[in-house]
A and B are shown apart, each in its own frame.
Chain A
Amino acid sequence: MRVELATLLDELARRHARGEPLDVEGLLAHAGDRSDELAPMIETFLVRAPRRTASAQTLAYVRALDDPPILRARVAKALRVDDVVDAIVAACTIQPDARPKVRRYYQQLEGGVLDPAPVAASVWDAISALLGRSRESLTVPHAGVPSASPMYRADRSFEPGDVPALAEKLVEPEPPDEVDALFLGESPKA
């Protein structure tokens, strides 16, 4: 059945007038092989249409433009941190007991604390699929941790072993595991 472009344009105009999301992607999908005919008409309509009043959703979107892109994309999809963590754990087949560690890393990544560059492609694929955004649009160049100038000069370095209570609790750091490898690019322990 031939798609009626007039009906799709009418739908666009109605959504615009009612202040609803326009879902142009959905309209183009409905147009099928006539999407190349429809797209320029949608452009023309939107250039000529009246300015819309800001909705609560678009206002929230703008006010969040200063937030890190992953956080913004997650909030826009009304997802919880745990939803994203679940997606990563499932997609990367991570053991359930490593989930808290994945959550910590994800929160660092979302907050812009963790350098996104070494994060594994499989993690990004899971995040991108869930948030509906490309990796490029979810990342900003990592600024690194700002360094502070030293304020005091000590006569000698502090050693935790100097304090008996701390010395008892000193443990060797865990070697990198599969979760570290996924988020930091380090090799997991054998």
Chain B
Amino acid sequence: MRDARDAEDKRLLETGEIDLLLAGWVETIRGLCVAKMRGAVGEDVAQAVCERLWKELKAGKHRDGKHPFRVIVHSVIGWVCKGWYEPGWQESELFDLDGAAPDESDLVVIEVTLEQFVATLPPSDGAVAELYYLDGLEPGEIAERVDKNPNTVYQAISRNKKRLQEWLEA
């Protein structure tokens, strides 16, 4: 499945702005690696992921657009995290740019997005969630934007907070 994020990644790949492309993923890579590895070692893993992706991008890989770059990012994260503690793995496979790519069946396909979560909410709570979770506005700014009492916005945020957890647990 394609999603809205892929279009910008594709544009950056086509224009050769690979530093901007990877920079947009750095925090996500760090966060995912720390969560997967359950702690600070995730920072080291994230560094290895970024180094691998950077080398591949510089070598011109992924420009064919066969897979969305986000799918490649998540696949490499999963692959590096899985092999991190295997002896010798980092020296042999990690930096072998000419070696085989991760198996196609390992590629992560993301079917659900945060935008879709927002779209499932009742209209008034959804409008608040969009401004709060997607645009990063403060409750006071949201109240002005949707022309609602700040207290009403806080109540919507509280309901959405529980819904977000349920959506992530599902």
Binding between chains A and B: yes
Contacts A18-B136, A25-B42, A48-B114: A58 and B32 contacting too (C-beta < 8 A)? no
Q: Which of A33-41, A162-170, A179-187 contacts B (4 or more CB under 8 A)?
A: A33-41
**What is the CB-to-nearest-CB distance from B94 to chain A, in angstroms, rounded to a whole number?**
12
Whether B19 and A24, one on each chain, are in contact in the complex, defined by CB atoms closer than 8 angstroms, is no
Judge if A19 is at the interface, Cβ distance under 8 Å: yes
Q: Which of B59-67, B96-104, B144-152, B157-165 contacts A (4 or more CB under 8 A)?
A: B157-165
Contact mask for chain A residues 4-43; partner B; CB cutoff 8 A; 1 contact, 0 none: 0111011011101111011011001000000110011111
| Bound-state Cα–Cα, A62 to B18, Å | 9
| Number of interface residues, chain B, beta carbon within 8 A | 52
Residues of A within 8 A of B110 (CB): 47-48
Residues of A within 8 A of B4 (CB): 50
| Bound-state Cα–Cα, A19 to B4, Å | 18
Whether A46 and B168, one on each chain, are in contact in the complex, defined by CB atoms closer than 8 angstroms, is no
Judge if A159 is at the interface, Cβ distance under 8 Å: no
Partner of B54, one of A5, A12, A44, A65: A65
Residues of B within 8 A of A53 (CB): 24
| Bound-state Cα–Cα, A53 to B117, Å | 21
Interface of A is mostly: helix
Nearest A residue (CB) for B170: A44
Partner of B161, one of A6, A41, A63: A6
Whether B43 and A7, one on each chain, are in contact in the complex, defined by CB atoms closer than 8 angstroms, is no
Judge if B133 is at the interface, Cβ distance under 8 Å: yes
Judge if A54 is at the interface, Cβ distance under 8 Å: yes
Contact mask for chain B residues 34-58; partner A; CB cutoff 8 A; 1 contact, 0 none: 1110111111100110110010000
Whether B31 and A42, one on each chain, are in contact in the complex, defined by CB atoms closer than 8 angstroms, is yes
Q: Which of A90-98, A113-121, A133-141 contacts B (4 or more CB under 8 A)?
A: A133-141
Nearest B residue (CB) for A134: B44
Nearest A residue (CB) for B27: A22
Q: Which of A13, A17, A36, A42 has most B Cβ within 10 Å?
A: A13
Residues of A within 8 A of B19 (CB): 54, 59, 62-63
Whether A48 and B117, one on each chain, are in contact in the complex, defined by CB atoms closer than 8 angstroms, is yes
Judge if A132 is at the interface, Cβ distance under 8 Å: yes
Whether B70 and A55, one on each chain, are in contact in the complex, defined by CB atoms closer than 8 angstroms, is no
Contact mask for chain A residues 47-73; partner B; CB cutoff 8 A; 1 contact, 0 none: 111111111001101110110010000
Whether A36 and B44, one on each chain, are in contact in the complex, defined by CB atoms closer than 8 angstroms, is no
Whether A14 and B113, one on each chain, are in contact in the complex, defined by CB atoms closer than 8 angstroms, is no
Residues of A within 8 A of B32 (CB): 42-43, 46-47
Whether A58 and B5, one on each chain, are in contact in the complex, defined by CB atoms closer than 8 angstroms, is no
A 102-148 contacts with B by CB, 8 A? 132-134, 136-137
Whether A17 and B132, one on each chain, are in contact in the complex, defined by CB atoms closer than 8 angstroms, is yes
Nearest B residue (CB) for A72: B47
Whether A22 and B51, one on each chain, are in contact in the complex, defined by CB atoms closer than 8 angstroms, is no
Contacts A41-B165, A43-B32, A43-B36: A50 and B115 contacting too (C-beta < 8 A)? yes
Pull 16 A–B residue pairs with CB atoms less than 8 Å apart, ordered by A. A13-B133, A17-B132, A17-B134, A22-B27, A24-B34, A24-B42, A28-B35, A39-B36, A39-B38, A46-B31, A49-B113, A51-B70, A54-B24, A55-B27, A69-B47, A133-B47
